[in-house]
Amino acid sequence: MNNRNTLGRTGLEAFKIGFGAGVIGNSMMYPKVDDTLSRQLIRTALSQGIDFIDTAFLYGLGHSEELIGEAIRKHGERERLILSTKASTNPQFTESGLQVDNSPAALRQAVDDSLTRLQTDYIDIFFMHFPYSSTPLAESAHTLAELKKSGKIRAVGASNLTFQQLQEFNADGHLDVLQAEYSLLVRQPEADVIPYCLEHGISLIPFFPLASGLLAGGYKKGEVFTDTSRLNNPLFQKDAYNANLDRVEQLKALAQIKGVSPAQISLAWLLTRPGVDLIMPGATKPEQIESNLQTLTVHLTPEDIAHLEIIFNQGSPSGRN
């Protein structure tokens, strides 16, 4: 079995399982993950053969990039790794939501700053993290395309775009890689985003591939959430949450039959989807990285995939379908 893929038209080839480094250096959101554990997670990913690491400035306001840069300098073999990071310059949390600066000057400075923190002279994929800026999206895309021509970045990326924003950003065909929320419980990209990406040769990398942990099977009915990430998440609202847990119970039954975990089934399903070249699940424990890699041993038959479609396209609301 070939466990490597080329990302769209980028020419970049990577292992199908990457490492989403959202917890690395991000003690504000993950207080239990200190620098010692962060370094251990990065070392585990690299030692297990993972060659794609995705981070962002917003993960610890640059500290995630610093820890990854430090680890890669010690590890060596930069040329065989694919590093991606995301710009969210001057983030402001206003009453209307997050606002960032995606102006040409800000994006150029963001790339230079990330190069310094990552201790490298090029970034494989550089993403505009959020579209919430006064700068027109096509202008931001053009700036990243210029940085690609300069050699500072090798591919242009964008994240968190609606379908309309995706079209605006890619008006001149600059987009190479898109990050979008996509999982068994979040299927909207199938309606318009994925067909558009396939038509334009854009590689899709899902984020929240386990639906903020729901698809891992560890939640129970009646739980009370106090963190804003779940309080504001439609998947965790009462009726949708209970319906989602019912679906996950059926997912667990299938996983038990196949002798694997619900998370591995969910990740393996994503790798069967058109336009998805790789996935980058995160981890808060080294053993979770090893478990994620076991996804590549999971074989989903056409009957399994059809069964998953029945489970996750039932009439009750999931919150995002």
User: Is the Cβ–Cβ distance between 288 and 295 less than 8 Å?
Assistant: no
The C-alpha atoms of residue 90 and residue 295 are separated, in whole angstroms, by: 37
Alpha carbon 20 to chain centroid, angstroms: 6
Three-class SS state of 31: coil
Please compute, for residue 153, the number of CA atoms within 13 A of its CA located in the half-sphere on the CB side.
30
The C-alpha atoms of residue 253 and residue 156 are separated, in whole angstroms, by: 40
Active-site residue identified among 30, 59, 196, 241: 59
Burial 135-161 (b: 16+ CB within 10 A, else e): bebeebbbbbbbbbeeebbbbbbbbbb
The C-alpha atoms of residue 223 and residue 157 are separated, in whole angstroms, by: 37
The C-alpha atoms of residue 116 and residue 124 are separated, in whole angstroms, by: 14
Residue 59 annotated in active site? yes
The C-alpha atoms of residue 320 and residue 219 are separated, in whole angstroms, by: 18
Residues with active-site annotation? 59
